[in-house]
Amino acid sequence: MSTFTMKQVVAWGDMDAYGHLNNVVYARYFESARATFFSKHAFWDDPGKPADEGVILTRQELKYRKQVRFPHTLEIQLTITKSGSRGFTMGCRMFNEQNELACEAEADILWINFKTGKPAMVPKEIREFKQ
């Protein structure tokens, strides 16, 4: 199974009143990793430009394992764990600087035609990334 990996620097403004990463920021970091994955694999030519087809998140589940604090640098890993003709599931894992699993998530993603509003075929490159 192929893995996409990226680094994420924890920003001071992402902390909550208790001095650790706010729980909603974990989801935002995973979102940024997915966007980087799609951009680096040329599924988004220009993320700011409307596209004919693309992804929508239909489900996301997070399991928090370790606290994260500023100024850590995290490693985020993405894998495609399930792939169908119209959608796929991404496994997302976040590791702290001690290489401990800080958070894991699963995201169901639907490939959609934005003009028709209907599901579309997942590009072959994404289906093959799982292999």
- pTM of the predicted model, to two decimals? 0.89
- CA–CA gap between residue 93 and residue 114 (Å, rounded): 29
- CA–CA gap between residue 55 and residue 120 (Å, rounded): 10
pLDDT tens across 111-122, in order? 999 999 999 999
- CA–CA gap between residue 122 and residue 90 (Å, rounded): 13
Binned at pLDDT 50, 70 and 90, residue 94 comes out as very high
Mean pLDDT of 106-110: 97
What residues contact 42, with CB distance under 8 A and at least 6 apart? none
pLDDT for position 58: 98
pLDDT tens across 39-54, in order? 887 666 666 666 788 8
Domains of the chain: residue spans and CATH: 4-129 (3.10.129.10)
Q: Coil, strand, or helix at residue 125?
A: helix
pLDDT tens across 54-87, in order? 899 999 999 999 999 999 999 999 999 999 999 9
What residues contact 26, with CB distance under 8 A and at least 6 apart? 62, 64, 68, 94, 103, 105
Q: Do you find a cis peptide bond into 123, omega within 30 degrees of 0?
A: no
Other Cβ atoms less than 10 A from the Cβ of 18: the count is 9
